[in-house]
Structure 1
Amino acid sequence: MKRLTRRWIAEGFVSEKQGLSVEVVAETCFNQLIERKLIRAVEHNSSGRVKSCQVHDMVLEYLISKAAEEDFITVVGSHWSMPTHSNKVRRLSVHSSDSKRAQHVDSMNLSHVRSLTVFESLDKLHFKSLKTRMVQVLDLQGCRGFRESHVKVSDISEMVLLKYLCLRSTDIKYLPRNIHKLKYLETIDIRETGVQRLPATVGKLQRIKNILGGDKRARKTLKLPREFKGTTRTLRILSGVEIAEGSTTAASDLKYFTGLRKLAIYKIHQNEDIFRDLLSSIQYLTGYSLQTLKIDDESSDFHKTLDSMSSYPTDLSTLELSGMLLKLPLWIKELHRLVKLTLSATALRTDNLKVLSNLGSLFSLTFSISEEQDPALGAILQRNKSESGGEIFFPAGKFSKLKLLRIFVPLLPLLNFSSKAVPELERIELRFNRLEGLHGMENLERLNDVLLTVDGKRSEPTKSILDDLKEVSVSSKYTVIVNESHHD
């Protein structure tokens, strides 16, 4: 959904209205399309927002036909392809780049293209008549073949009107040094790429709002140049970054970005001065606009300093703390506006659940970590299990607004839901190697879906528990789905 609304904004389809930001207006328009059944939600994220969507085939056929008649969009390489009614192509979407399709594209007059979207591969495309200075949206998400293609990284810096640049999951290795020429650029999405450092000139971008980088699963990060402070006035989202000293942006510099709404840190260098400066910056930013904070601290040394804050980030709506989190920050119980909370599975204990159960706005709760991330996890989870008496207990009358519960751990102890526990819970997602039981499911009055994913081959005790759950669900109002995930 975010990808779509950011593109709307870049092309000027939505604008500020009645004091609402352009981002809020775009999201409102999207939600109205969902409510009117013109778009169908396929997948929701853990905050309850639509993550992916679909348009019914009949509606899509009409929309593409109408758009082609009015020269709004040109589609090449899918079963929706149709001839253009004009020699002016304004928005081009290339779904296949085989030799035949590539020749078709090269025969077009692309001098008026404002938006270019390519799927699959770039290696056969030339875009001979493309006037790069006219392009406002460049979306190459998932494309391969930058090295072999005729589309060069240097071409990007010639797109002087560019507002939206998405290179996510491509094989690009770097951004052009003179990226500062893109003075209208608002979004850079280089997640899951080989780009590990932004060029120094990125600090000269006058309108940049969103910088999305790094790869959390692969533990790759994005280093920021010292000159990055030039974007302090406009930046709203900064994701996937590494916090260090030296030639990169320091932790203390973050406090200048007072417009930040989301900060996602994937790596922190282990240094007491860095810890102190980062805590100070977080405190400062939460006094302005910061609503989403995500910190992946592999050693958890930074997490141990969280209680030393002189003021607490009580206005956060989303918090994610990854690492060996054995103890929750004392101030977490004060986050009464928190909607989404993701924690390391090492914090999965009944005593911690009691602390979290009074968060009156909490919609989504996730405990997640894998043994691949930390080999010592199994021992910690085993200790947690013994300290909790062998079960995780959800008390009655708590978690008053929680609708989504997700727990992804190798060893999942017995989960017990007491009468009137988690009264609004609609969906449970569990991923595990070994499951020791689920009790009290009949007490969850609003439960609709239970998704259970087994990592590897099921043990006999786990298989027996799963069979019992499926048998009980036949006569229940909720659905139990069991998947197996086999690793090589």
Structure 2
Amino acid sequence: MSTEDCVHEMGLLSDEKAKQLFMAVVRKETQKESLPRDWEICSNLRKLWEMCGGLLLTIVTMAGQVACNPDKSDEEWIEVYTALAPRPSTSRTEYQLTKILSNCYNDMPVEIKTCALYFSIFPRGQKISRKRLTRRWISEGLAIEHQGLSAEEVAETYLNHLMRRKLLRATEHSSNGKVKSYQVHGVVLEYLVYKASEENFVTIVGGWVMPPPTSKIRRISIQCSGLRCGKELEAMNLSHVRDLTMFGSLEQLPSSSFKFGVVQILDLEGCKDFKRCHTKEIYRMLLLKYLSLRGTDIKKLTKRIGDLRYLETLDIRETDVLELPKAICKLERVVNIFGGNKRTRKALKLPEELGKMGNMKALRALSGIDIGGEETTADFHHLTDLRKLTIYNINYNMIFQHSVVFSSSIEYLGGFSLRALVIHDDSAEFLKSLGGLSSPPMFLNALELSGKLIELPKWIAAMDALTKLTLSLTALRADNLELLSKICSLFSLTLSLNAAKQDEETAAIIEDNKACSDGVIPFPVGGFENLKLLRFIAPYVPQLSFPDGAVPTLERLELRFSNFEGLVGIRGLKNLQQVYIKVQDEASETTELIVKEMATAAREDRQGPRIIFD
């Protein structure tokens, strides 16, 4: 690949629109509503957006560079312009798509340039999970603790810098407002692949045409499958590979070509054709730090998982692995264990030795687990660094003798590092007991309680750090909303119900909740001082009422349902910008009529919030 391969023909903006876009990006990324007048009229800045030739990508990239260098002098910007100004004999498009990207790349700190090259590992058009990316950076040592910031915080600053540079864009946000996934513009990715090849950062097989590697292969991204791919891999010396990422099928992976002892990052997320022989090969990768088998066909982990003493992240979500062997307790460096299936609520059983031996004290995230089965643990007191605990299943009858221990664990960890707690309890028997906690986990940022929960713990109103709250729709009651409105820090509130969980008892609870407030669920006037996002995800959503003064800061309302009874007072939500409506499965005639009326009202009311129908 050469830089000429990065040339594309695109529509051009006028000088005035180029200026508006340029200044809007600078204003946004410097977080200033208005810029000094000398910025607006500065001839050197004007030269910067004019030399972009009206091409949107180069304008925003150049603006991102200006925003990231607020202290640069006029003389320095003159030097930038002189170096980048197109020559009369040079194609303006070629100039725009090479020199400006190259200048932006070279202007970044070395450590961020390395992290930018990491995006070349992923195929064109792929949505890249923020957490997947940062965990890999940390495992490879690309993001480390620095000046009082944790490795995770350093990784976040790198991502924020790349966002300000406009080298990547957010494609999905989680309900707490944080970016969930990113995507790299195709032209930018081409440039990063070119640089990655030039610097021997990664070797890509399939997806891109790259020259054969001239030195040792340290990282490899396999983006193809089939016989041709297998032959190409067989011809390579892969004995020095320390970072292996595959997309597609494992069928053509030539295991005989690997000296598995040096691999530290193995990411097979979503790969098909995973066989028992692959598991055996993984157990020989004794230096592994990051192992993702998410979405593969793996069925079981054996005791040999205990040989991977350097392992920091184990991701076996959405697989058939539903039990961890006792040997997992040997992994004293492990930081993250992710298992189970969020959609189906299949949960991962932990060995009871985890609670007895007191090992694995480095754990910070334990997700998708089962509590209450035979030979499992309910004691997590020793995991004082644990920040996230996600329980997908509680067998209350079996855990009853351990419920005091589990409740005590939640109380104890809440006083240390625990910041996110998710509990799915179909019977809600354990959830009901939470109201009796003597020391509730008051420092949580995120809390999810799912089950046939009707009455909320009274202490929830005093959770001053809570920004993200998810509850079962059975808790949608006027008195509960009054309680929740007192949580000053709350950013997002979700009330949901899995269609498979809506039985006669659940339906009766929802009807009783409606009857308590004359058939309508009213939101209280006042309170919810920082609530920006309100979501309802359920087969059936009752009528909702928003009197004047209710949820004053709400910006987005999401409704996903099969049957819906309507909204009252939506025009009184002064800050509401967007309403997202998705009708799931077959809707009733009443629901279809309500949705049509909302669509008509949205077309007629140009001043109201934007309503999106999916």
Same fold, judged at TM 0.5 (above): yes
The residue that corresponds to 2:607 in the other structure is 476
Give the superposition deviation at 1:87: 4.4
**Alignment equivalent of 1:15, drawn from 144, 162, 186:** 144
Q: Which moved more, 1:186-195 or 1:420-429?
A: 420-429
Mapped contact 1:371–1:378 kept (Cα < 8 A) = no
Q: Distance in 2 between matches of 1:184 and 1:111?
A: 20
**Alignment equivalent of 2:236, drawn from 108, 112, 126:** 108
Please list the CA deviations of residues 119-167 of structure 1 after superposition, one character each: whole Å capped at 9, or x if unmatched.
12112222432111111100011111112x8x52011111111111011
Mapped contact 2:561–2:582 kept (Cα < 8 A) = yes
Q: Cα gap change, 1:476/1:231 in structure 2, threshold over 3 Å: closer, same or farther?
A: farther
Tell me, yes or no, if structure 1 residue 329 matches structure 2 residue 457.
yes
Give the superposition deviation at 1:25: 1.1
Mapped contact 2:223–2:247 kept (Cα < 8 A) = yes
Q: Distance in 1 between matches of 2:173 and 2:536?
A: 17
Mapped contact 2:332–2:360 kept (Cα < 8 A) = no
Q: Distance in 2 between matches of 1:202 and 1:371?
A: 35
**Alignment equivalent of 1:199, drawn from 305, 322, 325:** 325
Number of residue pairs matched by the alignment: 478
Please list the CA deviations of residues 439-465 of structure 1 after superposition, one character each: whole Å capped at 9, or x if unmatched.
222222332221111122233322222
Give the superposition deviation at 1:28: 2.0
Mapped contact 2:203–2:213 kept (Cα < 8 A) = no
1:173-188 pair list within 5 angstroms: 173-188=299-314
1:402-441 pair list within 5 angstroms: 402-441=531-570
Q: Which moved more, 1:374-383 or 1:218-227?
A: 374-383
Q: Distance in 1 between matches of 2:255 and 2:576?
A: 52
The residue that corresponds to 1:486 in the other structure is none
Please list the CA deviations of residues 379-405 of structure 1 after superposition, one character each: whole Å capped at 9, or x if unmatched.
322222222222222233321111111
Q: Distance in 1 between matches of 2:150 and 2:463?
A: 25
Tell me, yes or no, if structure 1 residue 32 matches structure 2 residue 32.
no
Q: Distance in 2 between matches of 1:242 and 1:395?
A: 37
1:223-262 pair list within 5 angstroms: 223-228=349-354, 229-244=357-372, 246-249=374-377, 251=378, 253-262=379-388
* Structure 2: segments with no counterpart, 5+ residues: 1-129
Q: Distance in 1 between matches of 2:167 and 2:573?
A: 32
The residue that corresponds to 1:358 in the other structure is 486
Please list the CA deviations of residues 267-286 of structure 1 after superposition, one character each: whole Å capped at 9, or x if unmatched.
22224322211111100111
The residue that corresponds to 1:166 in the other structure is 292
**Alignment equivalent of 1:272, drawn from 400, 406, 425:** 400
3-state SS, counterpart of residue 367 of structure 1: strand
The residue that corresponds to 2:102 in the other structure is none
CA RMSD of aligned residues (A): 1.6
The residue that corresponds to 2:199 in the other structure is 70
| Bigger share in strand | 1
Tell me, yes or no, if structure 1 residue 445 matches structure 2 residue 571.
no
Please list the CA deviations of residues 7-40 of structure 1 after superposition, one character each: whole Å capped at 9, or x if unmatched.
0001111110111111111122112222322210
**Alignment equivalent of 2:442, drawn from 296, 310, 314:** 314
Q: Which moved more, 1:318-327 or 1:416-425?
A: 416-425
Tell me, yes or no, if structure 1 residue 301 matches structure 2 residue 301.
no
The residue that corresponds to 1:157 in the other structure is 283
Tell me, yes or no, if structure 1 residue 391 matches structure 2 residue 520.
yes
3-state SS, counterpart of residue 592 of structure 2: helix
* Structure 1: segments with no counterpart, 5+ residues: 484-488
Tell me, yes or no, if structure 1 residue 58 matches structure 2 residue 203.
no
The residue that corresponds to 2:62 in the other structure is none
The residue that corresponds to 2:334 in the other structure is 208
Tell me, yes or no, if structure 1 residue 125 matches structure 2 residue 125.
no
Q: Which moved more, 1:212-221 or 1:456-465?
A: 456-465
Mapped contact 1:71–1:84 kept (Cα < 8 A) = no
The residue that corresponds to 2:41 in the other structure is none
Mapped contact 2:139–2:312 kept (Cα < 8 A) = yes
Mapped contact 2:331–2:360 kept (Cα < 8 A) = no
3-state SS, counterpart of residue 480 of structure 2: helix
Mapped contact 1:157–1:176 kept (Cα < 8 A) = no
TM-score, with structure 2 as normaliser:
0.75
Q: Cα gap change, 1:83/1:455 in structure 2, threshold over 3 Å: closer, same or farther?
A: same
| Bigger share in helix | 2
Q: Which moved more, 1:380-389 or 1:34-43?
A: 380-389
Q: Which moved more, 1:160-169 or 1:31-40?
A: 31-40
Q: Cα gap change, 1:103/1:36 in structure 2, threshold over 3 Å: closer, same or farther?
A: same
Counterpart of 1:406, as a letter, is R
Give the superposition deviation at 1:246: 4.5
Q: Distance in 2 between matches of 1:167 and 1:353?
A: 41
3-state SS, counterpart of residue 97 of structure 1: coil
3-state SS, counterpart of residue 380 of structure 2: helix
The residue that corresponds to 2:108 in the other structure is none
3-state SS, counterpart of residue 430 of structure 1: strand
Mapped contact 2:532–2:555 kept (Cα < 8 A) = yes
Give the superposition deviation at 1:245: 6.0
3-state SS, counterpart of residue 303 of structure 2: coil
Mapped contact 1:238–1:263 kept (Cα < 8 A) = yes
Q: Cα gap change, 1:262/1:66 in structure 2, threshold over 3 Å: closer, same or farther?
A: same
Q: Distance in 2 between matches of 1:152 and 1:407?
A: 42
Mapped contact 2:200–2:215 kept (Cα < 8 A) = no
Q: Distance in 1 between matches of 2:252 and 2:308?
A: 26
Q: Distance in 2 between matches of 1:115 and 1:334?
A: 46
Q: Which moved more, 1:414-423 or 1:218-227?
A: 414-423
**Alignment equivalent of 1:289, drawn from 400, 411, 417:** 417
Give the superposition deviation at 1:63: 0.4
Q: Distance in 1 between matches of 2:443 and 2:270?
A: 35
3-state SS, counterpart of residue 255 of structure 1: coil
Give the superposition deviation at 1:231: 3.3
Please list the CA deviations of residues 262-305 of structure 1 after superposition, one character each: whole Å capped at 9, or x if unmatched.
11111222243222111111001111111111111111111121
TM-score, with structure 1 as normaliser:
0.94
**Alignment equivalent of 1:462, drawn from 586, 591, 595:** 591
Give the superposition deviation at 1:113: 0.9
Q: Distance in 2 between matches of 1:231 and 1:137?
A: 24
Counting aligned pairs with the same residue, the percent is 50
Q: Distance in 1 between matches of 2:519 and 2:163?
A: 44
Mapped contact 2:435–2:456 kept (Cα < 8 A) = no
Counterpart of 1:480, as a letter, is I
Counterpart of 1:442, as a letter, is R
Tell me, yes or no, if structure 1 residue 94 matches structure 2 residue 222.
yes
Please list the CA deviations of residues 172-223 of structure 1 after superposition, one character each: whole Å capped at 9, or x if unmatched.
0112422222221100000111111112111111210000011132221111
Q: Cα gap change, 1:2/1:169 in structure 2, threshold over 3 Å: closer, same or farther?
A: same
Q: Distance in 2 between matches of 1:370 and 1:218?
A: 10
